[in-house]
C-alpha cells in the first residue's frame, strides 16, 4: 500500500512536537501547547499512516461529508475548544457569551475544553473521521496547519454562507485568504496569533532595536537575545527580514535563512531558543529582546512597565486557530449560527477583552472600548490598517518539506 506519511516520526519531528515547556498562567500554558504541534507534524496518536486502505491521501480529497442535519429538531450543539479560550466575566461567571447565545436562540451549547494539544486531540477524533462516523462534536477549534490537513483530507464540512452573514461581512481582511482555505469555505478564525519583537527597555540600556537584523547582528546584545523554538515563527520572521515572502519562499530561501540564524548562534548572539518560557527571561531582563507571541506580550506589559513590543518594518508572522464543522456532525446549522454569533461585534468584543489575542472581527473597536478602552487601543488585539498590511502567513508545507525543514531547524536549535 502506498503510504502518505511514514509510520515513525524523524527525530527532528519528534523534537518539534515536544517543543514548548508548560509554564506560566493557564492561557500561557495553552500557548505553548498550541505551538508544540506546529508545522503539520503529527505525533503518536496523530495522523499515523494514511494509505489506500480506505483513508484518502491528503491533497487528493476535498469537501466534507455531510450528515442529516438535526438542528431544527435538536436545539443543541457540542463545541470542543482549548482550555482558557472562552470569556469569563468580572464576577467569575464562566462563558457569559455562550449563555447569551442560548438565551437568544434557544440552542444549548455543550461546551467542552478538551483540546490540550493539536496532535493529542486529533488522535481522539481520527478513528471516527477515518471511518466516516460522527465524532460527537459539531464544532472544533484547530490551529491552521491541522485545519489545513483536515480540509485536504475531506474530513470537515463546507460551510453554508447563508448561515454566516456576520462572519462573511466582518472577517478581517488579513484572515480572508489563507492558502489552505481560500475564501474561507471550510473555516473561520477563532483568534489570530501574531509574532512580534518584544523587549525589556531597562535591559536594552539604550540599545536601539527595530528589526530582526538587530537581534541577530548587534554585538551589544550578544548573549541576551531569545528566538522561538517554533520553526515557522523564527524562520518566517528571518525570511521577512531578508525581504523574502514566507508565503512564497523556495528551498534556497529557507536554507539562506537557516544559515543566517546559524551564524548568530555560532557567534553567541542567541542566549537560547524557547517555547513560551521566554516570558520569564524577558521580564527579568535576561533577554534584552526576543521574538514573542502577541497574546503573551499584552499580559506582560500589564505586569511589567519595562516590557514592550515593536513590529519590524519588514512585517510579522500571523497564524490562527480556526472553527470547523467535522464530517457527520448532527447539528451543522446550529454550529454555523454559533460561528456567526461570534462575528457580531458585541460578542467578539466580550471574547477579545478576556482572551487578548488578535480579534479577527472587523468593526469591533467601538464595542471593545465600552468594555476595555486599553484593549481597544492595543494593536496586538485590534491591528490597525498599517499593522494588518505588515501581516504575513507562513505557507503550507508538503510532508516532504516539513520533514526536511524541521530536520534543519532542529540541528540549528540543538533539539
> Torsions phi, psi of 128, nearest 5?
-70, -45
**Residue 41 grid coordinates:** 507534524
DSSP string, 327-370: TT-TTHHHHHHHHHHTTSHHHHHHHHHHH-SB--BTT-HHHHHH
Label residue 321 exposed, middle or buried (CB < 10 Å: 0-12, 13-18, 19+): buried
> Torsions phi, psi of 40, nearest 5?
95, 5
- CA 379, 320, 402, 390 dihedral sign is negative
Average pLDDT on 354-381 reads 93
Whether residue 197 contacts residue 212, with contact meaning beta carbons closer than 8 Å, is answered with yes
Q: What is the pLDDT of residue 13?
A: 47
The pLDDT-based confidence of 64 (bands split at 50, 70, 90) is low
Residues 142-154 have pLDDT tens digits of 989 889 989 999 9
Beta strands in 181-252 (DSSP E): 188-200, 225-228
Query: Can you tell me the distance from the alpha carbon of 194 to that of 291, in angstroms, rounded to the nearest whole number?
Result: 10
CA distances from residue 272 to 29, 158, 266 in whole angstroms, order as listed: 19, 43, 12
Query: Can you tell me the distance from the alpha carbon of 132 to that of 387, in angstroms, rounded to the nearest whole number?
Result: 42
Q: What is the pLDDT of residue 95?
A: 94
Beta strands in 37-187 (DSSP E): 76-82, 108-115, 139-143
The pLDDT-based confidence of 322 (bands split at 50, 70, 90) is very high
Dihedral angle, C-alpha 262, 265, 270, 273, nearest 10 °? 70
Query: Can you tell me the distance from the alpha carbon of 7 to that of 270, in angstroms, rounded to the nearest whole number?
Result: 35
Q: 527579568: which residue's cell?
A: 284
| Residue 203, pLDDT above cutoff 60 | yes
Q: What is the pLDDT of residue 213?
A: 98
As a residue count, the chain comes to 415
Residues 249-266 have pLDDT tens digits of 999 999 999 999 999 999
Cβ-proximal residues to 284 (8 Å cutoff; 6+ apart), any chain: none
Cβ-proximal residues to 308 (8 Å cutoff; 6+ apart), any chain: 198, 199, 201, 297, 301
Give the chain's domains with CATH numbers: 76-186+325-343 (3.40.190.10), 193-319+396-413 (3.40.190.10)
Average pLDDT on 76-99 reads 89
Residues 287-319 have pLDDT tens digits of 999 999 888 888 888 889 999 999 999 999 999
Amino acid at each position: 500500500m502506498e503510504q502518505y506519511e511514514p509510520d515513525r516520526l524523524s527525530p527532528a519531528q519528534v523534537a518539534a512536537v515536544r517543543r514548548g515547556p508548560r509554564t506560566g498562567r493557564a492561557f500561557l500554558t495553552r500557548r505553548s501547547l498550541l505551538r508544540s504541534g506546529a508545522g503539520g507534524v503529527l505525533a503518536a496518536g496523530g495522523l499515523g499512516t494514511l494509505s489506500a486502505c480506505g483513508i484518502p491521501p491528503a491533497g487528493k480529497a476535498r469537501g466534507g461529508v455531510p450528515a442529516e442535519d438535526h438542528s431544527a429538531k435538536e436545539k443543541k450543539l457540542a463545541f470542543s475548544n482549548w482550555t482558557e479560550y472562552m470569556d469569563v466575566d468580572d464576577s467569575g461567571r464562566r462563558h457569559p457569551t455562550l449563555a447569551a447565545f442560548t438565551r437568544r436562540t434557544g440552542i444549548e451549547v455543550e461546551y467542552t475544553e478538551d483540546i490540550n494539544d493539536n496532535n493529542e486531540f486529533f488522535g481522539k477524533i481520527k478513528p471516527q473521521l477515518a471511518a466516516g462516523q460522527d465524532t460527537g462534536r459539531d464544532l472544533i477549534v484547530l490551529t491552521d496547519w491541522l485545519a489545513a490537513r483536515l480540509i485536504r483530507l475531506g474530513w470537515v464540512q463546507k460551510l453554508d454562507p447563508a448561515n454566516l452573514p456576520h462572519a462573511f461581512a466582518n472577517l478581517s481582511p488579513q484572515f480572508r485568504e489563507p492558502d489552505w482555505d481560500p475564501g474561507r469555505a471550510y473555516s473561520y478564525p477563532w483568534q489570530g496569533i501574531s509574532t512580534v519583537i518584544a523587549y525589556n527597555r531597562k535591559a536594552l540600556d539604550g540599545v536601539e532595536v527595530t528589526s530582526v537584523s538587530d537581534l541577530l547582528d548587534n554585538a551589544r546584545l550578544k548573549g541576551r537575545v531569545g528566538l522561538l523554538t517554533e520553526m515557522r515563527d523564527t524562520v518566517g520572521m528571518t525570511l521577512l527580514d531578508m525581504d523574502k515572502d514566507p508565503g512564497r519562499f523556495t528551498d534556497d530561501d529557507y536554507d539562506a535563512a537557516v544559515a543566517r540564524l546559524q551564524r548568530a548562534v555560532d557567534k553567541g548572539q542567541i542566549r537560547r531558543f524557547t517555547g513560551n518560557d521566554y516570558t520569564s527571561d524577558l521580564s527579568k531582563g535576561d533577554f534584552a529582546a526576543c521574538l514573542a507571541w502577541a497574546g503573551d506580550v499584552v499580559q506582560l506589559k500589564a505586569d511589567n512597565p519595562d516590557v514592550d513590543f515593536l513590529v519590524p518594518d519588514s512585517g510579522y508572522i500571523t497564524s490562527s486557530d480556526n472553527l470547523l464543522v467535522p464530517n457527520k456532525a448532527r447539528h451543522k446549522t446550529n454550529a454555523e449560527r454559533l460561528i456567526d454569533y461570534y462575528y457580531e461585534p458585541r460578542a467578539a468584543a466580550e471574547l477579545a477583552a478576556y482572551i487578548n489575542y488578535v480579534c479577527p472581527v472587523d468593526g469591533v473597536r467601538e464595542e471593545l472600548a465600552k468594555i476595555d478602552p486599553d484593549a481597544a487601543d492595543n494593536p496586538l488585539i485590534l491591528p490597525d490598517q498599517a499593522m494588518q498590511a505588515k501581516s504575513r502567513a507562513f505557507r503550507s508545507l508538503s510532508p516532504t518539506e516539513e520533514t526536511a525543514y524541521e530536520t534543519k531547524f532542529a540541528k540549528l536549535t540543538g533539539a
